[in-house]
Amino acid sequence: MDVSSLALYGLPIPTFIMVAVGLAKTLGMPSDYAPHLSAGLGIAGGIAVAITTGQPILWGIMAGVFLGAMACGIYKQAKGVETTV
């Protein structure tokens, strides 16, 4: 799987997922549901990439699981980083 192809219109899908999940949490979604939303958005994004690139839908689902897990992991890693100025 070529990671550079996991973008729609130049926007990396993990970035979109992180922004969408952060927005949903800001709007009141419980944090317990964030990984589920991340996985769902990842699968939807993976299917969209599969359709636009001519890949099989199963490829899109598998890529979407990867995208959702990656976005959720990046968010959790960034949340744990303390910044000092």
Please report the DSSP string for 15-78 in residue order.
Answer: HHHHHHHHHHHHTT--GGGHHHHHHHHHHHHHHHHHHHHT--HHHHHHHHHHHHHHHHHHHHHH
pTM of this structure: 0.74
**Cβ–Cβ < 8 Å for 47, 61:** yes
Q: What confidence tens digit (pLDDT) does each residue in 64-79 have?
A: 888 888 877 765 655 6
Low-confidence stretches of the chain (pLDDT < 50) are none
**Cβ–Cβ < 8 Å for 71, 42:** yes
